[in-house]
Amino acid sequence: MFDEATPGVLLQAVQFAAHKHQDQRRKDQQATPYINHPIDVAATLWQVGGVRETAILVAALLHDTLEDTATTPEEIRAAFGATVLELVLEVTDDKSLPKAVRKQLQVAHAPQKSPGARAIKLADKIHNVHDVGASPPADWSPQRLRDYLDWTEQVVAGLRGT
C-alpha cells in the first residue's frame, strides 16, 4: 500500500504544518488549535476517500500553509518536492485578489483542478461545512452562515465525480 518512506514523510508534514500554524486558532468559539483542521482533512482523505497516494495526503496536511502562514513555495518544494508543491498551489487562493473575486474563482476553477487537488478541496469543504454546523465562527450571523453554505455548494458542484 505504501513504501517504507511514507510514515516518515507524513510525520514530517504533520510536524511542518504544526510549526507553521502554531500561533493560529480556528474561528470557532473554543478557538480550536488550527492544526486539527489539516489533520482532519488528511485523515478524511484516507478514511473516507480511500486515498493512498502519499503526495496527496502530504499536500492535505500542508493545504493551508501557503494561504494562511508565512510559508514559501520554495520551502515546500525543498522539503517535500515539486509534486506536493503543485498540489498545495492548486488549493491555494491568490491572496493579491479581493476576497469576493477569490471566492468566485474557487467556483470557476474547481472543475479544472487535478484529481488530487479536487480530493483535497472536497475534504476541506466537508470539514468547513461540518464546522459551520457544529462549531461556527463565533461572530457570524445566521445569514452569513447560510451564505457560506451556498457558496460551498457551488464549489462542491464543480468537484462532482471526485
Q: Where on the chain is the footprint of ligand NDP (CB under 6 A)?
A: 26-28, 37, 64, 99, 103, 124, 128, 131-132, 135-137, 143-144, 147-148
In angstroms, the CA 28 to CA 120 distance is 22
Which residue, 41 or 55, is less far from ligand NDP as judged by CB? 41
Which residue, 6 or 102, is less far from ligand NDP as judged by CB? 102
Identify residues 1-60 at the interface with Zn ion (CB under 5 A). Answer: none
Contact 28, 130 (CB under 8 A): no
Query: Quick one: which segment of 14-22, 63-71, 79-87, 98-106 binds Zn ion (CB under 5 A)?
Result: 63-71
Which residue, 30 or 47, is less far from ligand NDP as judged by CB? 30
What is the residue whose three cell numbers read 520554495?
74
Instruction: Report CA-CA distances (Å) from 17 to 35, 44, 80, 140, 147.
Output: 7, 17, 12, 27, 29
Task: State yes or no: residue 64 binds Zn ion (CB under 5 A).
Answer: yes
Contact with Zn ion (CB under 5 A): which of 9, 17, 124, 132? 124
The partner in contact with residue 143, picked from Zn ion, ligand NDP, none with C-beta cut-offs of 5 to 8 angstroms by kind, is ligand NDP
Distance of CA 44 to the CA centre of its chain: 11
Cα dihedral value 70, 119, 37, 13, nearest 10: -60
Contact 93, 102 (CB under 8 A): yes
Task: State yes or no: residue 90 binds Zn ion (CB under 5 A).
Answer: no
